[in-house]
Amino acid sequence: MTWPLVIVGASYTVLHSFRTRRLSLGVKMKYLNSEDYRFRYFTQGKPGSRPSVLMLHGFSLNKDMWLNTIEIFPKDIHLVCVDLPGHGGTTRLLAESHTAVAQAKRIHQFVQCAGLNHNPFHLVGMSIGGMVAGVYAALYPAHVSSLALLCPAGLKIPKQSELFLWLKQLILSKDFAESALVSVTKEQIEKFMKICLYQPSFLKMQLLKGYLEDRKPSKMFFTLCFLDLTSSESRYSLHDNMRKIKAPTQIIWGKEDKVFDSSGAEILAAAIPNSQVHWLEKCGHFITLERPRKSAKLLLEFYKSVCDSAEQKKVA
């Protein structure tokens, strides 16, 4: 589905809000309260005989980044897309740790309260969400029937990406105040988006701006969250835990990723015995925006293959 656009002055304006898009897909927005914490998420379908699917988004984004992806998923598959800790409508606590392990533990809290722990589920994560998903699968293997990682963070990749070379330049510059990942100046946001996208068309950049809109009024939180994620304790959390992952794992990576180099896929595949790799040609880091249908098709095919394999084992 392509969102209708109109030209306003010199820029495009997205007519349909994310809320309208959710309604068109039939997803249900929900809140879940657990002790002093509140999670915001949306669901599609109902729990059934096949595993539920839990999807984790990237840094400073929110659950809406999955809207393009879930469009081709059958309505009878139970999908759950949750805002990560401090993101979107989920509780934002400045004093709380937001390392990958800390976020995985918060996601475990959500899983328990939502009842997803009653049966093993399929876990999907992209970028920082991929790091959290991988750590979760290592910490709570009994809960994860299968795992899909889209260009995840948290690996020791020898080749430095264009993003981190740019960040180094900013750190050394006199104008550096905070990471460009959390800055809100027009120039740095546009530079960041161009790095994320293989073909940064005006339409894609406008849509990406919509996904990133949550960061502007919450710059302090995202600065602290970024510092936690990139700390020595958290920076390589997926790398440190990847050999503990036992679930069948799918790895999807854009060949032209300039945020995390695609060689990370080989590192993961070598560490996780039951894994498969898919590289997307002419695709950067923001897979769900640049290749939504192709990545969704790969995710769905893997999910079905794992489910079919599980059914065959039961029959045998």
Catalytic positions, written as ranges: 127, 257, 285
Phi then psi for residue 150, to 5 deg, are -105, 115
Closest CA to 246 of 120, 81, 115, 98: 120
Long-range Cβ contacts of 5-8 (<8 Å, 24+ apart): 5/203, 5/206
Measure the CA dihedral 89/91/97/101, to 10°: -60
CA distance 127 to 134: 11
Helix or strand run (H / E) with residue 150: strand 144-150
Contact indicator for 239, 135 with CB cutoff of 8 Å: no
What six digits make up the tokens of 151?
């260009």
List, as one string, the DSSP characters of 178-238.
Answer: S-TTT---HHHHHHHHHHH-SS--HHHHHHHHHHTGGGGGGHHHHHHHHHHHTSTTTTTHH
Cβ-based neighbours of 62, under 8 Å, separated by 6 or more: 83, 87, 88, 89, 211, 214
Closest CA to 51 of 124, 113, 103: 124
Phi then psi for residue 192, to 5 deg, are -60, -45
CA distance 259 to 266: 16
Closest CA to 288 of 173, 204, 201, 218: 204
